[in-house]
Every structure is written in structure tokens, then in C-alpha cells.
């Protein structure tokens, strides 16, 4: 499993990428793909539970 910092960095990078795709063209097919990739990472992050 990825460590928390690496996972958070990947989430942030994908979030920024998704936003940029949306700003450039809200109907771009890549938007759905990136959104689904982000969902996978967010679900992985949620499964880890709260960090202490």
C-alpha cells in the first residue's frame, strides 16, 4: 500500500489535472477517466481511516 503522503500527493495531482481538463473543455472525454482514477485513490485513502 502507498504511504499516506504519497497517496495524498497523487490525489492532489489528479484533482488539479481534473480541474484543468474541466476548465479547458468540460466535455472532454478525459474528464471522466481522470475522475474515475481519482475516485479509486479517494476510496483507498478512505479505507485507511483517520490518521493519528
5 three-state secondary structure: helix
Handedness of CA 31, 32, 37, 43 (dihedral sign): positive
49, 1 Cβ separation under 8 angstroms: no
In tens digits, the chain (52 residues) has pLDDT values of 568 899 999 999 999 999 999 999 999 999 999 999 999 999 999 998 776 4
Supply the pTM of this predicted model.
0.82
Measured between its terminal Cα atoms, the distance across the chain in Å is 17
Length of the chain equals 52
Amino acid at each position: 500500500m502507498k504511504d499516506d503522503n504519497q497517496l495524498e500527493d497523487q490525489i492532489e495531482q489528479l484533482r488539479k489535472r481534473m480541474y484543468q481538463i474541466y476548465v479547458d473543455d468540460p466535455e472532454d472525454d478525459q474528464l471522466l477517466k481522470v475522475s474515475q482514477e481519482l475516485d479509486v485513490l479517494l476510496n483507498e485513502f478512505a479505507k485507511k481511516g483517520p490518521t493519528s
